[in-house]
């Protein structure tokens, strides 16, 4: 039972330096960034001189700016508008299948009623004058065998698809901005974290070496070599 307790204490210490630094980075960044997020994003007070004004930007400000300016989000919003227009077209277009015709011409005049005329078939000698015709034709579908209903369903599905596409793009933008922001925070804090992790590794190497010299049966020399190798990598 004593062996299990010591092993539980030693296992985290014999991992590679990358795992140690990653754990320290996670704890350090979480505390650092949580403190920043709870701080109001207002202009910092001048330190010594009025000209030393520092503007602190919160991650939400960068995210909002990216949402407003990212071209693909604007394109996604336009896709939604286009899908809604297609739905209106699917609803109304079957009832507006009409066309008009207009003709203007010059022809000789004709005498008599519509059933009889004393003039020849083409009265070239009669007085010529302008003429015209106007006409409108079209139809309204009574039954379309499901085409009208299916067209509306397809247009509605297109709107839903466009909305999901915009939501996907929005989530990707938010993710990319936050990844870049917190990645920068990590890169700025990483030197201090590595230094702290190096000190902890040195302390672990010393403790493990002392226990090996004391012939502690619960300490393996392989664990000591792993710690030494990890320390040499970061140094």
**β-bridge partners, 128:** 108
CA-CA distance, 56 to 43, in Å (whole number)? 6
The mean per-residue pLDDT over the stretch 112-126 comes to 72
pLDDT band at 113 (very low <50, low <70, confident <90, very high): confident
pLDDT value at residue 86: 93
The mean per-residue pLDDT over the stretch 89-117 comes to 79
CA-CA distance, 160 to 179, in Å (whole number)? 28
Write phi, then psi, for 62 (nearest 5 degrees): -65, -40
Residue 117, token pair as written in the block: 């005329």
Strands (DSSP E) contained in the chain are 97-108, 128-139
> Which of 29-33, 76-80, 199-203: highest mean pLDDT?
76-80
Question: What residues have CB less than 8 Å from 13, skipping those under 6 apart?
Answer: 204, 208, 223, 227
pLDDT band at 235 (very low <50, low <70, confident <90, very high): low
CA-CA distance, 190 to 22, in Å (whole number)? 10
Output the pTM of the full model. 0.48
Residue 220, token pair as written in the block: 């393996």
58, 37 contact by CB (below 8 A) = yes
Q: Which residue has the higher pLDDT, 93 or 235?
A: 93
pLDDT band at 33 (very low <50, low <70, confident <90, very high): very low
* Residue 84: pLDDT over 90: yes
Q: What is the dihedral of CA 210, 225, 191, 28, to 10 degrees?
A: -70
184, 36 contact by CB (below 8 A) = no
pLDDT in tens, 44-54: 455 555 556 77
């Amino acid at each position: 039972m004593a062996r299990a307790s010591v092993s539980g204490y030693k296992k985290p210490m014999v991992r590679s330096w990358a795992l140690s630094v990653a754990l320290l980075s996670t704890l350090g960044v979480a505390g650092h960034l949580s403190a920043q997020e709870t701080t109001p994003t207002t202009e910092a007070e001048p330190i010594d001189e009025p000209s030393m004004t520092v503007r602190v930007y919160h991650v939400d400000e960068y995210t909002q700016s990216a949402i407003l300016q990212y071209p693909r989000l604007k394109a996604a919003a336009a896709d939604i508008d286009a899908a809604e227009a297609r739905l209106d077209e699917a609803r109304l277009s079957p009832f507006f299948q009409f066309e008009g015709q207009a003709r203007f011409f010059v022809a000789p005049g004709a005498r008599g009623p519509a059933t009889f005329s004393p003039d020849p078939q083409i009265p070239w000698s009669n007085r010529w004058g302008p003429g015209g015709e106007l006409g409108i034709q079209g139809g309204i579908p009574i039954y379309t065998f499901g085409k009208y209903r299916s067209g509306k369903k397809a247009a509605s599905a297109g709107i839903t698809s466009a909305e999901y596409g915009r939501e996907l793009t929005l989530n990707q933008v938010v993710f990319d901005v936050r990844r870049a922001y917190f990645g920068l925070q990590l890169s700025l804090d990483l030197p201090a974290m590595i230094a702290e992790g190096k000190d902890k590794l040195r302390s672990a190497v010393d403790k493990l070496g002392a226990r090996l010299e004391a012939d502690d049966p619960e300490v393996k020399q392989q664990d000591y070599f792993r710690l030494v190798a990890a320390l040499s990598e970061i140094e």
